[in-house]
Amino acid sequence: MDCIFCKILNGDIPSKKVFENDNFIAILDAFPANEGHTLVIPKKHFTNIFEIDEETLKEGYSIARNVANSIRKSLNIENINILQNNGALAGQTVNHFHIHIIPRLENDTVTMKSIPVTIDSKKMEQIALSIKDNM
Ligand code: AMP
Ligand code: ZN
């Protein structure tokens, strides 16, 4: 499969590993948003959050918190984003599930800004009901 993270997991592409267990690796992002930007990657290939099984997902977020804690201590950073992209429009460029841990600094270049859209309360009610009905 033509997947960069599978190639890293196979040892075909080098990486800077900060953690490994039976199910996951955590590596430094090769194009970091800030120093310490780390990716938590399951060893099994899942495309996105809708494919990954619940148990592995939970383990991934537990590892993400541990990595974030290590970053706090090692880099002395208190502000950290933990995020995850699904689909090209959401910014996903590698179609192998992964969790970003991004240390944040004063005046860094990281953004995910939006201008709020206007939605009337009837429509908001419909949206809430529709999401609720599909849970
Ligand atoms: P996303 O845009 O959420 O799919 O994130 C993919 C991330 O993988 C980006 O932040 C890239 O910088 C990172 N990336 C791409 N190639 C490599 C690589 N060879 N080693 C480590 N990180 C990579
Ligand atoms: Zn893969």
Whichever domain contains 72, its CATH number is: 3.30.428.10
Confidence of residue 1 (pLDDT cuts 50, 70, 90): confident
CA distances, 60 to each of 20, 35, 57, 73 (Å): 12, 21, 5, 20
The domain in which residue 90 lies consists of 4-109
Kindly state if the Cβ of 29 falls inside 6 Å of ligand 1.
yes
- Whole-number Å distance, alpha carbon 44 to ligand 2 midpoint, is 7
Instruction: Please give the full DSSP string across 60-89, using - where no structure is assigned.
Output: HHHHHHHHHHHHHHHH----EEEE---SGG
Residue 85 Cβ < 6 Å to ligand 1: yes
The catalytic residues are 98
Q: How many domains are contained in the chain?
A: 1
The per-residue pLDDT for range 52-101, each reduced to its tens digit, is 999 999 999 999 999 999 999 999 999 999 999 999 999 999 999 999 99
Q: Whose CA is nearest to atom 13 of ligand 1?
A: 29
Give a yes or no: residue 124 inside a domain.
Answer: no
Instruction: Specify if 126 maps to a domain.
Output: no
Q: The tokens of 55 are what?
A: 């148990």
The predicted structure's pLDDT at residue 25: 98
Average of per-residue pLDDT values in the chain: 97
Task: Report DSSP state, residue 90.
Answer: G
- Over residues 7-30, the mean pLDDT reads 98
Statement: residue 27 has pLDDT above 90:
yes
User: Is 13 a pocket residue for ligand 1 (Cβ < 6 Å)?
Assistant: yes
